[in-house]
Structure 1
Amino acid sequence: MPFPAENRQIVTKTQVGRMSSGGFEDHFDAIVEKLRLISRKHSGEKGLVHTASYDRANQLHNHFKDNSQCHSRSGDYLSLQISYWQQSNDDMFFSPAAMDGVDLPRDKCRWQALVKVPYPNLADPRTRFLTDERDRDDLYMERTSQQIQQSVGRGVREAGDECIYYVLDESFSDVRRNVDLPDWFEKAII
């Protein structure tokens, strides 16, 4: 990572609880309030919110309809939907699928929020094989870590770029504890 840590800060004091196994529903009001505070702090700035599922994206979007757009399930039109968002006055974009392959330099994205740690789907046969048959939970956590690392880079794309990354899911601490994260990533965590 060639960009300074202070330009890509990862804020963990915004965690509101564990989001797996019903945690999203249990903490929904706290998530909405935290996102409301973050969006007010960054009023007029674009923010990408990573949700890990379309249902979560839609539920959150329903609370911020006056200032957000949502990646819908209707086709794989993520780049088109992001383009509409960028051309709008809406600050937030909710998506479960924008953790990689998305380029949002400069004012296209000044903040991001990780609502839910993106664990691989255990219903996927390959993931199930690695975790159950091969007893490779380390690969499961490593894939999770890689997704998070990729997502941090969506808004810091060039020298001088800045984008702050807020973590709402306490499960982020599990990833840090179980994966040897790269130094460049650890240095950005505050």
Structure 2
Amino acid sequence: MLRIIKKPPLSWSLGKQARRTTAAGSCQLSAEMKAQMPPLKLPETWTSAALKELKAKLRMEEDSVVTVYRGDIMTVHVPTVPEAKKVCWEFATDGYDIGFGIYFDWTPVTNRSITVHISESSDDEDEEEELEGHVSNGDVEKGSKTQTNSNLAEILPVYRQDSHLSVNGGSHEFPGEGTYLLKFDNSYSLWRNKTLYYRVYYSA
């Protein structure tokens, strides 16, 4: 069931709507369609010291606490819905930081379910190469690669966030129809798995 929040939400996790998927489900857009894309606004972002409170709340919710294994990237696909105007997120980790970034896929929405895709960093690079053509190697510490020749637009590049020290949150107003890709990137870690507490929700 979709829940629309009119005020800053207390809680809405992915719950049973989340499922793993192994395909990006994306296709190339024509140059004509790209020319019609409006420029993307920057998201509103914030941090909070209420780390213990968020973690305690999310431990009670199904699918809100996950392990992002070393070398893996977890991407949450969040389609736009007519009943809402914004997507919102909050996350925190135990002990160590994690990379986080947001992209927008302009492909028309055919499935309104929120899905989760977990890939090894090499799988993710292969997927991006298929979408974008040539991709130069990126460093999560310095920000992610530029998105060119694809239907993906970068809203927030992937940077390592001190999510073990404070809650990271934000929101973004829908630029049109499409799907948000929220990336939690642990590809830079050779040894450490990261425990991630997160929730994604819509706001009117």
Task: Give the structure-2-normalised TM-score.
Answer: 0.30
Higher relative contact order, chain-length normalized (CA < 8 Å, sep 6+): 2
Larger helix percent: 1
Structure (1 or 2) with the greater strand fraction: 2
